[in-house]
Amino acid sequence: MPREAYVNGRYVPHAQAAVHIEDRGYQFADGVYEVVTIHRGTLIDEEPHLNRLERSLDELRIAMPMSRPALKLVARELIRRNAVSNGIVYLQVTRGVAPRDHKFPGHARPALVMTTRQMKPHSTKLLEDGAKVIAVPDIRWARCDIKSVSLLPNVLAKQAASEAEAYEAWQVDADGFVTEGSSTNAWIVTGEGTVVTRAVGQEILNGITRISLLKLIESHGYTLEERAFSLEEAKAAKEAFITSSTSFVLAVTQIDDTPVGNGHPGILTGKLRRHYFDFMDRAGDPI
Q: Which residues bind to ligand PMP, rule: CB under 6 A?
A: 35, 154, 180, 183-185, 205, 207-210, 243-245
Closest CB to ligand PMP belongs to which residue? 207
In what order do the strands lie in the sheet containing 42-43?
10-13, 4-7, 111-118, 87-94, 31-39, 42-43
Smallest distance from the beta carbon of 181 to ligand PMP, in angstroms? Answer: 6
**Closest CB to ligand PMP among residues 97, 153:** 153
Length of the chain: 287
Smallest distance from the beta carbon of 183 to ligand PMP, in angstroms? Answer: 4
Please give the angle made by the CA atoms of 239, 221 and 185, to the nearest 5 degrees: 45
**Closest CB to ligand PMP among residues 130, 207:** 207
- Burial level of 40, CB count in 10 A (0-12/13-18/19+)? exposed
Smallest distance from the beta carbon of 27 to ligand PMP, in angstroms? Answer: 22
Residues belonging to the active site: 147
**Closest CB to ligand PMP among residues 131, 205:** 205
Q: How far apart are CA 94 and CA 99, in angstroms?
A: 14
Smallest distance from the beta carbon of 143 to ligand PMP, in angstroms? Answer: 12
**Closest CB to ligand PMP among residues 83, 283:** 283
CB 188 within 8 A of CB 239: yes
> 7 — phi, psi (to 5°)?
-130, 110
Helix 208-219 to helix 46-60 angle (10° resolution) is 130
As a dihedral over the C-alpha atoms of residue 16, residue 18, residue 21, residue 25, rounded to 10 degrees, the angle is -150
**Closest CB to ligand PMP among residues 50, 108:** 50
Q: How far apart are CA 173 and CA 166, in angstroms?
A: 20
Smallest distance from the beta carbon of 100 to ligand PMP, in angstroms? Answer: 27
